[in-house]
Amino acid sequence: MKASSAPLLDLGTPVPPIAHARFSIGEVVRHRLFDFRGVVFDIDPVFANSEEWYESIPVDARPRKDQPFYHLLAENAEASYVAYVSQQNLIVDDSEEPVDHPAIRGLFDDYADGRYRLRREHKH
């Protein structure tokens, strides 16, 4: 019997660059362009939201998909909400102020030095 000559890896398929997350779970960040801040509670290594969501962003402001995207428990002057933000649009929040979001206590314990500590039951 003849061994298969099928390739093990399709070298013609583009592989996205490996981007390293600049921020970590529990870190407080601020949006670079819009007036809101939040605490990171999950990280996608590359874009993982719907195409409809992505297309709703104006073309001139649309972020690249080949970078980490962060799930934030976010707040602005009017409301608390969940945000999905590209790495290129986030900066460290140096206000030293905690985030006032109702879901924080369900995920995090103490706040110190600009970050929250993930509750034990959520660590893996």
Residue keyed to tokens 């110190």? 112
**Distance, CA of 118 to CA of 105 (rounded, Å):** 10
Please provide the average confidence, as pLDDT, over all residues in the chain: 88
Is 82 inside any structural domain?
yes
Is 14 inside any structural domain?
no
Q: What is the pTM of this model?
A: 0.82
Partners of 27 in beta bridges: 115
Is 95 inside any structural domain?
yes
- pLDDT, one tens digit per residue, over 27-63 is 999 999 999 999 999 999 999 999 999 999 999 889 9
For residue 85, give both structure tokens.
């933000």
Is 109 inside any structural domain?
yes
Question: Which value, to the nearest 10 degrees, does the dihedral of the CA atoms of residues 98, 104, 110, 116 take?
Answer: -70
Is 35 inside any structural domain?
yes
- pLDDT, one tens digit per residue, over 65-118 is 999 999 999 999 999 999 999 999 999 999 999 999 999 999 999 999 889 999
Domain range for 63 is 28-119
- Per the structure, how many domains does the chain have? 1
